[in-house]
Amino acid sequence: MGNMPVNSMDFGRFATLFGTESEGEIGMAKKSQIARNLKRQKTVARFAARRKALKDTIRNPATSDVERQEAYATLQSHPRDASPTRIKNRCQVSGRSRGYYRKFKVSRIALRELALQGLLPGVTKASW
Protein backbone atom coordinates (compact mmCIF):
# COMPACT_ATOMS: atom_id res chain seq x y z
CA MET A 1 0.00 0.00 0.00
CA GLY A 2 2.90 2.41 0.66
CA ASN A 3 1.90 5.98 -0.10
CA MET A 4 -1.84 5.90 -0.74
CA PRO A 5 -3.13 9.12 -2.34
CA VAL A 6 -6.01 11.00 -0.75
CA ASN A 7 -8.22 12.56 -3.42
CA SER A 8 -5.41 11.94 -5.95
CA MET A 9 -2.95 14.02 -3.89
CA ASP A 10 0.62 12.83 -3.36
CA PHE A 11 1.77 12.72 0.28
CA GLY A 12 5.40 13.07 -0.82
CA ARG A 13 4.63 16.57 -2.03
CA PHE A 14 3.11 17.54 1.29
CA ALA A 15 5.88 15.86 3.26
CA THR A 16 8.31 18.28 1.65
CA LEU A 17 6.00 21.20 2.48
CA PHE A 18 5.92 20.21 6.11
CA GLY A 19 9.61 19.35 6.27
CA THR A 20 8.94 15.72 7.16
CA GLU A 21 9.80 12.53 5.38
CA SER A 22 7.25 10.06 6.75
CA GLU A 23 3.46 10.20 6.64
CA GLY A 24 3.16 9.53 10.38
CA GLU A 25 4.74 12.85 11.28
CA ILE A 26 2.03 14.93 9.61
CA GLY A 27 -0.73 13.23 11.60
CA MET A 28 -2.37 11.18 8.89
CA ALA A 29 -5.78 9.58 9.36
CA LYS A 30 -6.32 5.82 9.15
CA LYS A 31 -5.86 4.64 5.59
CA SER A 32 -8.95 2.46 5.85
CA GLN A 33 -11.10 5.51 6.60
CA ILE A 34 -9.59 7.44 3.71
CA ALA A 35 -10.11 4.50 1.35
CA ARG A 36 -13.71 4.07 2.52
CA ASN A 37 -14.44 7.73 1.81
CA LEU A 38 -12.88 7.47 -1.68
CA LYS A 39 -15.05 4.43 -2.37
CA ARG A 40 -18.12 6.42 -1.30
CA GLN A 41 -17.15 9.28 -3.62
CA LYS A 42 -16.95 6.86 -6.55
CA THR A 43 -20.32 5.32 -5.65
CA VAL A 44 -21.96 8.76 -5.42
CA ALA A 45 -20.55 9.70 -8.83
CA ARG A 46 -21.76 6.44 -10.36
CA PHE A 47 -25.35 6.87 -9.13
CA ALA A 48 -25.60 10.68 -9.43
CA ALA A 49 -27.53 10.79 -12.72
CA ARG A 50 -29.97 8.05 -11.67
CA ARG A 51 -30.60 9.68 -8.28
CA LYS A 52 -31.22 13.06 -9.93
CA ALA A 53 -33.75 11.57 -12.35
CA LEU A 54 -35.59 9.80 -9.52
CA LYS A 55 -35.57 12.91 -7.32
CA ASP A 56 -36.97 14.98 -10.20
CA THR A 57 -39.73 12.41 -10.69
CA ILE A 58 -40.59 12.51 -6.98
CA ARG A 59 -40.62 16.33 -6.83
CA ASN A 60 -42.64 16.82 -10.01
CA PRO A 61 -46.24 17.68 -9.03
CA ALA A 62 -47.53 16.20 -12.30
CA THR A 63 -46.20 12.73 -11.42
CA SER A 64 -48.88 10.19 -10.54
CA ASP A 65 -48.89 8.54 -7.12
CA VAL A 66 -47.99 5.17 -8.58
CA GLU A 67 -44.97 6.58 -10.45
CA ARG A 68 -43.90 8.47 -7.34
CA GLN A 69 -44.08 5.31 -5.20
CA GLU A 70 -42.07 3.39 -7.80
CA ALA A 71 -39.44 6.17 -7.82
CA TYR A 72 -39.25 6.06 -4.00
CA ALA A 73 -38.82 2.26 -4.07
CA THR A 74 -36.11 2.47 -6.74
CA LEU A 75 -34.30 5.19 -4.81
CA GLN A 76 -34.41 3.09 -1.64
CA SER A 77 -33.01 0.09 -3.52
CA HIS A 78 -29.82 2.02 -4.35
CA PRO A 79 -26.81 1.47 -2.11
CA ARG A 80 -26.70 3.54 1.05
CA ASP A 81 -23.35 5.02 0.02
CA ALA A 82 -24.92 6.41 -3.18
CA SER A 83 -26.21 9.37 -1.17
CA PRO A 84 -23.92 12.44 -1.26
CA THR A 85 -24.54 13.09 2.44
CA ARG A 86 -22.49 9.98 3.24
CA ILE A 87 -19.28 11.62 1.96
CA LYS A 88 -17.11 13.02 4.74
CA ASN A 89 -15.04 16.15 4.16
CA ARG A 90 -11.40 15.20 4.72
CA CYS A 91 -8.19 17.21 4.82
CA GLN A 92 -6.28 17.08 1.51
CA VAL A 93 -3.01 16.97 3.43
CA SER A 94 -3.56 14.51 6.25
CA GLY A 95 -6.97 12.94 5.65
CA ARG A 96 -8.20 14.29 9.00
CA SER A 97 -12.00 14.62 9.15
CA ARG A 98 -12.36 17.00 12.09
CA GLY A 99 -11.59 20.69 12.15
CA TYR A 100 -12.06 20.91 8.37
CA TYR A 101 -11.99 24.30 6.61
CA ARG A 102 -14.06 24.07 3.42
CA LYS A 103 -12.51 27.16 1.85
CA PHE A 104 -9.01 25.63 1.95
CA LYS A 105 -9.98 21.92 1.98
CA VAL A 106 -7.58 21.25 4.85
CA SER A 107 -7.85 20.67 8.60
CA ARG A 108 -7.16 23.37 11.17
CA ILE A 109 -3.73 21.88 11.90
CA ALA A 110 -2.67 21.76 8.26
CA LEU A 111 -4.11 25.25 7.72
CA ARG A 112 -1.94 26.63 10.51
CA GLU A 113 1.19 24.93 9.18
CA LEU A 114 0.59 26.05 5.59
CA ALA A 115 -0.24 29.60 6.66
CA LEU A 116 2.88 29.90 8.82
CA GLN A 117 4.99 28.75 5.87
CA GLY A 118 3.34 31.39 3.68
CA LEU A 119 1.84 28.83 1.28
CA LEU A 120 -1.70 30.22 1.52
CA PRO A 121 -1.98 33.55 -0.34
CA GLY A 122 -3.68 36.29 1.66
CA VAL A 123 -3.68 34.40 4.95
CA THR A 124 -1.77 36.09 7.75
CA LYS A 125 -1.47 35.51 11.45
CA ALA A 126 -3.89 37.73 13.39
CA SER A 127 -2.45 40.44 15.60
CA TRP A 128 -4.16 43.35 17.29
Domain residue extents for the chain: 1-26+91-119, 30-89
Say how many C-beta atoms besides its own lie within 10 A of residue 45's C-beta: 11
Taking the model in full, what pTM does it have? 0.69
67-86 pLDDT, tens per residue? 999 999 999 999 999 999 99
Q: What is the pLDDT of residue 126?
A: 87
Return the pLDDT at 63: 92
CATH number belonging to the domain at 30-89, selected among 3.40.1590.10, 1.10.287.1480, 3.30.70.980, 3.50.50.100: 1.10.287.1480
